[in-house]
Structure 1
Amino acid sequence: MSIKQRFRTSMKKVNGDLLTPISIFQRLQGERKFLLESSMKYEGHGRYSFIGVSPRKTYRGEQEQLIDTSHLTNKNYTYEGELISLLKQVMPRISSHTEYPFTGGGIGYINALTNDLPELEFHVYDTLIIFDHLTDEIAVFHTNIEAEEVAPNIDAFIEELFANPTPQETTYALHTPELQQDGVYGATFSGDAFALYRKLRIEHAAPYMYYIDFDDCTVVGTSENNYLQVRDGTLSATDQAPSIERFCQGTSQTVNTIQHGNLNPTLHAIDVVKALKPAQGLIGYIGFNGQVDFTTPENIITITGNRAHIRTNQAGVHFEALMKG
């Protein structure tokens, strides 16, 4: 199939029934990989998985200082101010309308991890793989976010994806977990973090499941609930979030514990994220197209070196099921 060209965007779809999101992730070559999934067990979830590697840039923020790192030039740019407002200013915006909710943008967290990590961190991916579980199609998107950027060869990228062998099975181990504070455990970790993710997605399958490689840590987790989403102009938020009425054009309504309304077109989705972020933080994506999808960290493991910090919203998390894999 020929590549479709849109303004600043290239896309190609291929039959992907010989692959899975797990095997695609394992075959990708590069650094700072991520995988976002949703269990097919949950109605209304599970159609798409998103996979990426080698982000174009990274935004890291702490104490009103946001650092923009280009992985192409290895140059850093520093901005001063409120972090989420700065993130809104620097995140590329590309208008695109596709059947997919996310075709590229920032993957990361806001105030969601351990105290010794940045308050905010997002990798920005200009090339994205989307696996459609309904059609078994793979779509590869590339968005040119900078004028001098040379678009990758999508055909060659896909050919390598099918040609690369799937790595051998790996293992991991969590050793002697100890309660550090309410709901947070510490443990010694050894082995492969992705093997832990594969075990976690089985033992704690949920509508939100994620694996993200950051520079200082790797994050794996699952969450039952959407906290905040903006898609196709519709703002949705859990009823545990503050009222969304002031961000809507017209009235909002609550259906099955979810608030819904039409986002005021004068606002950006990041404005809502800034206003409604909960104390426990958020993890998810900000799309180039202005759409966002965030969950709160529920069952989340942050691995830094040989230490794992495990947060759970479940009393007496079943460590026995995760100790080895």
Structure 2
Amino acid sequence: MREETVWYSLGIDTSNYRTSMALTDNRGNIISNVRKLLEVPKGKRGLRQSEALFQHIINLQYISEEVLGNLNDDMRKNIVCVSASSRPRPVEGSYMPVFNGGVSLGKSLAAALGVAYYEFSHQEGHIEAIRHYSAFKDVDRFVSFHFSGGTTEAILVDTTMDPVNYEIVGGSKDIALGQLIDRVGVSLGMKFPCGEEMDTRACTYNGKMVELPKIKTDTGFFNLSGIETKCQQLVGKVDSDSLITSIFNSIVTVISDVTEEIGNEYDINDFIYAGGVSSSDYLRKHLNERCSRNICFGNKELSGDNAVGVALLGGNTYGHKAYQCNTVK
């Protein structure tokens, strides 16, 4: 039997939080996954788009060298496509200037290498990075939650449709879970982004929690501005670790509630949790205890912003088109 030729797909993602580049092969193996957090001054709750884009331009120089500089000639010659995340979500009108950094480099690299260039949304990359390595890889219809600093959505994904159909069926109607965590964290004196530090403190706290108002849900949707206001009022008045743990407990409760609601409404039993917030050890432990559905968190390193999903999507697209070329007479 002739040995399968190995080829490679390069992915780039330039989000509001990280500069990322990844290389995967046609078997789904991750050859390289390099990520660099954007620098946010202490006390600030994020960066302007122009500030983030400037940092991406600087970071991409060094990340490109780290990913591509160590490849041998055969591997470099077998890069068949370059892909970049060009917008936040796979819907018309979705746009953020910050993604232009990855798009610009992606097009330039593809032209220099003489290979195909593809674009996907940041959200699609998040979902694929978890799905590809999960038990849901071959599931046709599932719900993926995308929990991050700027997005809290439940997306019903139907892969039987061409193109794949993404329908928002739940999530926050105002601020995102990541914004709730970071805003309170910055008020507590932490450096942005605050999720990892707050998660560690929630996991190690064994004391009494603060009573917070329950987050009300409506068939998968909810609001978070009310609980943020209450938490900000409590900063400096209650124990910080108690407040942090109470926030995470409230998040577990609302996610568990909307998972059940969406499962019942759309007759879905398979749920993926993607995005940076889903890397939380506290959420993983307690949601696995409370949810009755088939849920999947995936690798923690692939939950936060990365370019692995974009590289996989590019490889899938190239492989599908190559298959069509080889089979159509």
Whether TM exceeds 0.5 here: the answer is: no
Identify which of structures 1 and 2 has the higher relative contact order when contacts are C-alpha pairs closer than 8 Å and 6+ apart.
Answer: 2
Higher strand fraction (1 or 2) = 1
TM-score (norm 2): 0.26
User: Which structure has the highest helix share of the two?
Assistant: 2
Q: Which has the larger radius of gyration?
A: 2
Q: TM-score, normalised by structure 1?
A: 0.26
